[in-house]
Chains A and B, each alone.
Chain A
Amino acid sequence: MWHMRKLLAWLNKEPDLNLRLLQWAVPLFLAGSALVYELVEHSLEGGLHFTTAFMGEVLLFGLMGPIIIGFMIAWMREIVSAERRATALAQELNRDLEARVAARTAELAARNAELARANAELKQLDQLKSDFVSLVSHELRAPLTNLNGGLELALQQADSLPPGARHILQTMVKESERLTGFVQTILNVSRLEAGKLQINPGPVACLPLLQRTVEAMFPDQRRPVEWDIAADLPPLWADEVYLEEVVRNILRNADKYAPAGSPIRITAWPCDDRVQISIGDQGPGIPAEIQPYIFERFYRGQRADNVAPGWGLGLYFARRLMEAQGGAISLRSPWRDDPGQPGAEFTLTLPIAAVPEDEDDV
């Protein structure tokens, strides 16, 4: 048994070489055995005569049998070596594949590390931005409160102040209010960009919103307004508070740039399933070359007069607010035939609020 196992182990180790040995050894052994057997058998039967029977048996058992067995072993050897070749090929392919996988894995790992680094950098930048915003929110707001408050306190005793000082203080109040508005816009923009500005949509009746905004902006009616609002205009679907903010922003711009006393024209018309609100002024207009950038962040239009102040966030904020409400803002300038006062017209487009399907009239 021990020998058998050893033999098998040896066979397994070198199957091709061993089979080649067997291919010759086994037939030779069989041929020899058969020859000896036949010689002994026929000698015992009565002397060795090269009879036909003897020759036939020697041919059959001593030659044909071993040759057949030799061929069988050769055939087995062929099968085994084919199998070995296939295995070797498969192994080679596997090694190749493994090498390629390893290379790709290393590449991916490198890229992942790169991404992780970039991500960490972005997070750091984001953190810096948040820190900056909170710096603005606290470090700017607190002194602003005190500035506004100090001015209020001083103006409480306005009667006892010389007229010149009173005038200066009143100008400072206006400037302080402007700065406060600026800080508010920065905070709103950063909240919007951080996705923290919550849009609260609902139906908005157009006419009351526009009229009350105009009344709040121009309470003294120093700025005439021409109205052209479609009758039975359906309510829009928008955030009432932010839509009013956008309208106020555009009205403020119009008022800032248009000559004193020139009318602002406000129109509102349905257009398919949307409503378009347009606000046009009779100012110098916005040059065509800067129109593509007017809704970008920190862009400040260079007007011909270049005196009216602005902070380059208002229209950007307006665009972002409109987009957040599923609407859009666009500009047409010139929009009037008068080359002296070509004007700028901003158009807000917003969806119409869904209409009740049932005829549940009251």
Chain B
Amino acid sequence: MSDILLVDDDQNLVTLLGDYLRGQGFVVRTAANGRDGLRALYERRADLVVLDVTMPLKDGWATLKSIREISDVPIIMLTARGDEADVLRGFSLGADDYVTKPFSFAQLTARIRAVLARRRGDQGEERLTAGELTVDLRTCRVTRAGEPINLTPTELNLLTALMRRPGQVVSPEELVRVVWGPQYQEEIGYVRRYIWHLRRKIEPDPEHPRYIHNERGFGYRFQVVEG
């Protein structure tokens, strides 16, 4: 049974969410602000902390920093905004996941279970790295040499489909099946166009690809060519 510490100044949320999580089989402790939350964590360790960002006395970011100084307990942030900057800040400070208000309790419970499972090592894959290219599968962020690259969800699926099989030739038919679904088997024309645009986003020099290579008559191969 997992021990969850709930830190939020909204007493109604703490009560309702606490009851809901207990109903889902968790042991729940609560704290009304960051300072009390830290104290509770000193007294007894928790398996996971749910931390609100907007709190008096010590806000969520400051609390997150303090917790990270003493513990690597999984932390899920409750943010009021879905702003990209907020989310990135959260992850850079060491949060494991975030949920934006308003959220459903079922959704948060699913996230809690996923983070706990990830910590137990059930799901190892969190990021793919090749050369200067990094794909963070949690945040769906792609960076090249630290610089963010904006991909659409489908482009990201295409890239991860290729990156998961480094060095292997993947046929357009297979890529269509993985990225768009088996019902689009005939539409292999998508692949060539998507790859062309993907290269313009991720390759330093799209004319001389470093990552995605054509294997004429067979498909595409993802491999880092040092250049």
The chain A residues found within 8 Å of chain B, CB to CB, are 137-138, 141-142, 144-146, 148-150, 152-153, 156, 180, 183, 187, 196, 198, 200-205, 207-208, 211, 232, 234-235, 239-241, 353-356, 360-362
Contacts and interface: CB of A to CB of B under 8 A. Distances in A.
B80 A362 contact: no
A124 to B, nearest CB: 23
A153 B20 contact: yes
A204 B16 contact: no
A148 to B, nearest CB: 5
Given A146-B16, A149-B16, A205-B187, A362 B172 contact: yes
| B20, B54, B82, B105: most-surrounded residue (chain A CB, <10 A) | B105
Interface stretch (B58-66, B89-97, B117-125, B214-222): B214-222
Contact of A145 (B84, B101, B192): B101
Given A149-B104, A208-B184, A362-B220, A235 B10 contact: no
Given A148-B103, A149-B105, 8 more contacts: A138-B54, A141-B102, A149-B13, A183-B102, A198-B84, A200-B152, A202-B152, A240-B154
Interface in B200-225: 201, 214-220
A150 B105 CA distance: 9
Nearest to B81: A137
A201 B201 CA distance: 11
B180 interface: yes
Nearest to B191: A362
B151 interface: yes
A87 to B, nearest CB: 67
Interface of B: 10, 12-13, 16-17, 19-20, 23, 54, 80-84, 101-106, 150-155, 172, 180-181, 183-184, 187, 189-194, 196-197, 201, 214-220
23 contacts: A137-B81, A141-B102, A142-B13, A142-B80, A142-B102, A144-B101, A149-B104, A149-B105, A152-B20, A153-B16, A153-B19, A200-B151, A202-B151, A202-B152, A202-B155, A202-B201, A204-B154, A208-B180, A235-B193, A240-B152, A353-B193, A362-B217, A362-B218
A187 B100 CA distance: 13
Given A153-B105, A208-B180, A137 B152 contact: no
Nearest to B104: A148
Contact of B152 (A138, A207, A239): A239
A203 B103 CA distance: 31
Contact of B104 (A152, A201, A241): A152
Contacts of B23: 153, 156
A284 to B, nearest CB: 34
Contacts of A146: 10, 12-13, 16
Contacts of A141: 80, 101-102
B91 to A, nearest CB: 17
The 5 closest A-B pairs by CB, nearest first: A202-B152, A144-B102, A356-B196, A141-B101, A240-B152
Contacts of A148: 102-105
Contact of B193 (A142, A208, A234, A241): A234
| B152, B190, B192: most-surrounded residue (chain A CB, <10 A) | B152
A362 B215 contact: yes
A355 B105 CA distance: 45
Contacts of B105: 148-149, 152-153
Contact of B192 (A180, A198, A207, A361): A361
B16 A150 contact: yes
B184 A207 contact: yes
Nearest to A361: B192
A15 to B, nearest CB: 77
Contacts of A144: 101-102
Contacts of A145: 13, 101-103
Given A141-B102, A144-B102, A149 B84 contact: no
B95 to A, nearest CB: 18
A204 B152 contact: yes
A352 to B, nearest CB: 10
Contacts of B189: 232
A360 B192 CA distance: 8
Nearest to B23: A156
Nearest to A359: B192
B140 to A, nearest CB: 11
Contacts of B192: 356, 360-362
